[in-house]
Homo-oligomer: A and B are copies of this chain.
Amino acid sequence: MEPTPRHIAAYFALMEAGALLQQLVEKQLRDEGNLSYIQFRVLAQLAEAPDQSVRMTDLADGVVYSRSGLTYQADRLEQNGLIVRTPSPDDERSVTVTITEAGREALAHVLPGHIDLVARELFGPLSEEDVTAMADVLTRVRDNLRNAPRRRAPRRRPAAGGDDGRPSR
């Protein structure tokens, strides 16, 4: 399939719109609540979780983020008293993250401004139909992207008969 100019326009518009919006959002959260966008997403995810708790891995998957990056941000959030980390009861390896009262307050504090900002900057120029179309198309795109990255080739057959070129560790 040959890409048309419209395809290219759609591609760049998506990337740029996402980047621009993230910059605005990041600034609002920083100014009003001293939170990064990732931290905001983490808190939001915890707040709507059944028992205010989620495992680290599920958090990372939820916010599209590297595991080490999440560890770093979780350190920040815990230092600031917005979350608590405890070993998971059922699986000794995993860590359960729970939002604290202070965390809920921090979230509640930035939320109104956040909603205002998004309503103004993102949805401002859009009609209801536009919003519907955008949600529809982008949801499909996102779900597709969430599955596609399965390029983590399982590396089957760990060189049963010879060196596969991978350096020893």
Would you list which residues of chain A between 96 and 145 have a CB under 8 Å from chain B? 115, 118-126, 130-135, 137-142, 144-145
Q: A86 interface residue, CB < 8 Å from B?
A: no
The reply to whether A142 and B17 contact each other, CB–CB distance below 8 Å, is: yes
Q: Known interface pairs A10-B131, A17-B18, A149-B20. Does A141 touch B118 (Cβ–Cβ under 8 Å)?
A: no
Q: Which residues of B contact A144 (CB under 8 A)?
A: 121, 124-125
The reply to whether B3 and A119 contact each other, CB–CB distance below 8 Å, is: yes
Q: A49 interface residue, CB < 8 Å from B?
A: no
Nearest chain B CB to A21 CB, angstrom units: 6
* Residue positions of A touching B, CB distance < 8 A: 1, 3, 6-7, 9-11, 13-24, 64, 115, 118-126, 130-135, 137-142, 144-146, 148-149
